[in-house]
Amino acid sequence: MIPVQKNDEHVVEIVDLTHEGSGVARIDGYTVFIPGALPTEQVKIKITKTTKSYGFGRIIRQKTKSVDRVEPPCPVYNQCGGCQLQHLSYDAELKFKHNRVRDAFARLAGLEIPVHETIGMEDPWGYRNKAQVPVAFQSNKLMAGFYQKRSHRIIDMDYCLIQNKENDEAVQAVRKVLADLKVPAYDEKKKAGVIRHIMARHGYHTNELMVVLVTKVKQLRGIDKIVEGILKALPNVTSIQHNINPDDTNVILGKKNVVLYGPSVIRDQIAGLTYEISPHSFFQVNPLQTEKLYAKALEYAQLTGDETVVDAYCGIGSISLSLAKQAKHVYGIEIVPQAIDDARRNAQANGIENVTFEYGAAEKVMPDLVKAGIQPDVIVVDPPRKGCDEEFLRAAADVAPKRIVYVSCNASTQARDAKLLTELGYTLVEVTPVDMFPHTTHVESVALFVRN
């Protein structure tokens, strides 16, 4: 029998933080997760849910406060689900992310290796270059904001502290234009209406701005007046586009874009290289930290100009092109055809010729490259959250590069893959976490493996 029941009240001491940023307490050995609580704090909680193994509680009174607790600057922090760590000081957040990466390697891979301090931001606010904001008609007005935690109800917001101000201003300007012209929001329950989302993308280095109207309908009535209104409100806008998403889905963008004003892409730069960004393009949302991430990957690759490099899971080629500046030749592999098209276009736009992009699954393409006489000295991987395919890791070890540089957005799958690589003849030398998404629980990390 579990020692607590729903609606029970207890005074507990917080002993840890979960990977999701919730406080951890124990009542007679029973684990309870408490959002918003921090280690060392004493809090009075009310049990909100129980299972056989663990429960959840909410704070009803704060009895003591951690020295790491700060007042969240966002007025809707407790309602919005976008950030999880605004109540934690930034120095403590960087330590939390360091510990999260270190613990993943110790727990899942059995590896006690050097994990460097997390590379953070000097100013950890206003870093996001892309906003995708849902629109709804609530409280007799058109709202554009973010979803309340665990719901599809929108919190009306004029700004988001982790968005750059250009995107915030663009979203609110477009919302006002749509409201003034009485363009109806799409209603998920009634399956009726027009506007689903407002997207804004901003080039940090170029100051170019893209606005995308995502609609349920194929024909947007009053389109000329809408464009006229946006141009008047945002005279510096570079591109205005209409994305059509007629499906009943949680996917934000549909497949078709219609250009209403300006070019079909905007541009931005990473590490001195220029990239074209369409509504659908994957592009890192924090360009300043991306440069630090890529710099660490290049440091680990130890290129002299004579190496052949394979960049698996290469996406639009942003790591590949950075590597190409210091390598003999880079082969990028990607399974998403649109990304390969973008990568080739980005290479051409930057005048980089010592890079080749191949479409296909990395575990299939790389052995074909070897059969064609291509022997990589270094392999760089930047897989999705699920990590690398085991078949690919075995193929990589068979190729026997001197170094493998592993960039990850999920320390758990990175640690799992590290265990396999060590069994396949590699030593994990060190890991560096990079804070790409301040005030959230997400952390990226770069690991260096060398062949035994």
Beta bridge partner(s), residue 307: none
Is 409 a known active-site residue? yes
Catalytic residue among 83, 160, 388, 409: 409
Beta bridge partner(s), residue 435: none
Which bin fits 201, alpha (ψ -120 to 50), beta or left (φ > 0)?
beta
At residue 430 the predicted structure's pLDDT band, cuts being 50, 70 and 90, is: very high
What is the pLDDT, as a whole number, of residue 156?
Answer: 81
At residue 72 the predicted structure's pLDDT band, cuts being 50, 70 and 90, is: very high
* CA 167 – CA 158 distance, rounded (Å): 11
**What stretches of 187-228 adopt beta strand conformation (E)?**
195-202, 209-215
382 is in an annotated binding site: yes
Q: What is the pLDDT of residues 222-241, one digit of tens each?
A: 999 999 999 999 999 999 99
In the DSSP assignment, the letter for residue 362 is H
Q: What is the pLDDT of residues 341-393, one digit of tens each?
A: 999 999 999 999 999 999 999 989 999 999 999 999 999 999 999 999 999 99
Query: How many other CB atoms are found less than 10 A from the CB of residue 437?
Result: 23
Q: Are residues 294 and 418 in the same domain?
A: yes
What angle separates helix 223-233 from helix 165-180, to the nearest 10 degrees? 140
What is the pLDDT, as a whole number, of residue 146?
Answer: 84
What is the pLDDT, as a whole number, of residue 138?
Answer: 81
Q: Tell me if 427 is assigned to some domain.
A: yes
At residue 1 the predicted structure's pLDDT band, cuts being 50, 70 and 90, is: confident
CA-nearest of 103, 100, 106 to 88 is 100
**One-letter amino acid for residue 103 of the chain:** D
Q: Tell me if 264 is assigned to some domain.
A: yes
Q: What is the pLDDT of residues 317-350, one digit of tens each?
A: 999 999 999 999 999 999 999 899 999 999 999 9
Greater confidence (146 vs 12) lies with 12
CATH number, domain at 413? Answer: 3.40.50.150
Residue pair 217/275 in contact by the 8 Å Cβ criterion: no
* CA 326 – CA 307 distance, rounded (Å): 9
What is the pLDDT, as a whole number, of residue 49?
Answer: 96
pTM: 0.92
Q: What is the mean pLDDT of the chain?
A: 95
CATH number, domain at 267? Answer: 2.40.50.1070
* CA 54 – CA 64 distance, rounded (Å): 24
Residue pair 55/2 in contact by the 8 Å Cβ criterion: yes
143-147, 201-205, 322-326, 335-339, range with the lowest pLDDT: 143-147
* CA 436 – CA 129 distance, rounded (Å): 12
Q: How many helices (H) and strands (E) does the chain have?
A: 9, 22
334 is in an annotated binding site: yes
Kind plus residue range of the DSSP H or E element containing 177 = helix 165-180
Greater confidence (259 vs 142) lies with 259
Q: Which domain holds residue 350?
A: 94-122+286-451
* CA 358 – CA 437 distance, rounded (Å): 30
Q: What is the pLDDT of residues 272-292, one digit of tens each?
A: 999 999 999 989 999 999 999
Q: Tell me if 175 is assigned to some domain.
A: yes
Where does a domain end: 46, 62, 78?
62
Q: Tell me if 68 is assigned to some domain.
A: no
Q: What is the pLDDT of residues 208-219, one digit of tens each?
A: 999 999 999 999
Q: Are residues 236 and 371 in the same domain?
A: no
* CA 191 – CA 250 distance, rounded (Å): 13
